[in-house]
Amino acid sequence: MAAPVIGISAYAERARWGVWDTAAALLPQEYVDAVAATGAVPVLLPPVANAAGAVRALDGLLLAGGGDIDPARYGAERAERTAGVQRARDAAEDALLTAALDRGLPVLGVCRGMQLLNVFRGGSLHQHLPDTVGHDGHRKRTGVFDPHPVTVAEGTLTARVLGRTRLDAPSYHHQAVADLGTGVRATAWADDGTVEALEYEGTDTVLGVQWHPEMGTDPSLFAWLTRLAAARPAAV
């Protein structure tokens, strides 16, 4: 039986390696390793206009972290601290998610990916979380995934997948879910009330988390994605 194929949305950034300093389509290796460790085949999906065409060959979709979503997508003006907006990536991931949902693929959203799941359904975001919660506990240090406590609602898909209702989650974000979109349910929260996980109502195949599980030691979210992907009919 062939291993399931998991598409992971990738970044378009300038990068340096060897003697090169140029534009690149890239992704932190931790995402790739986390998916591969479950027995699935990770495939990077660059933010190009026709990226959604690849979905027919996928068994699951992972929406990765990254820069901020364009506030125009949820009807807001861009705030001073909003950064890293790439409209091409916003459009590509919107199309990827649309195609994945149309095919009934399991979807996992991580950090920005969770925020995208909410905005996709008409929800909004806090553009700079410290202005809302009064502290920088969700992004304490530059380039470091510091943990903070998260509480998960009992009986939710999130709790079943994680196998627990309390964890220390590796975190690095300055934006967060504000108003929930249509059919979106919050399922986990930080101690300050920030939404840390969400699900789509009426399905057990869409899950988003605000933290970065690829930077931790718990493989349960990736194992869940691969398990559902493997249970699907082979892509044609």
Show which residues are catalytic: 111, 212, 214
Residue with tokens 């990068």: 15
Angle between helices 87-103 and 112-120 (to 10 degrees): 70
| Inter-residue contact 13 to 49 (CB < 8 Å) | no
Measured distance CA(64)–CA(55) in Å, rounded: 16
* DSSP string across 50-66: TGGGGGGG-SEEEE---
Please, what is the angle between helix 29-36 and helix 220-231, to 10°? 60
CA-CA distance, 233 to 236, in Å (whole number)?
A: 9
Q: Are 225 and 6 in contact (CB under 8 A)?
A: yes
